[in-house]
Amino acid sequence: MSSTERKKLLDNCLTDLSLLAKRLCPDARIEATTEAFEDEDGHVRIYPPAGMSEEEIAVIEGKVADRRVDILIEKGVFICCAVYD
């Protein structure tokens, strides 16, 4: 895969995770970056609005994590995702 194709794949995966996070929490601020540390390809940071319960945050974390693992297995793209409260 060329570097251009790899970049497009990474961008698509970051967009996929960002849109999922936004669907799960429409009022959240989402940051997706191509920062690469060690074996990571990118990051998605989710900042939900103040006042969300731990249970609501756990649901977001779980669903985003599940999708992140699917992307890693299916496409070989390792994206670190986190919810910051």
Q: What is the pTM of this model?
A: 0.93
CATH number of the 3-83 domain: 3.30.300
Taking residues 49-53, what's their average pLDDT? Answer: 94
Whole-number pLDDT of residue 2: 94
Bridge partners of residue 31, in order along the sequence? 45
Strands 79-83 and 29-33: unpaired
Where residue 32 falls among pLDDT bands split at 50, 70, 90? very high
Confidence of residue 1 (pLDDT cuts 50, 70, 90): confident
Q: What is the mean pLDDT of the segment spanning 62-75?
A: 98
Does 82 have pLDDT greater than 90? Answer: yes
Taking a C-beta distance cutoff of 8 angstroms, is the pair 84, 30 a contact? no
Residue 68 has pLDDT above 90, yes or no: yes
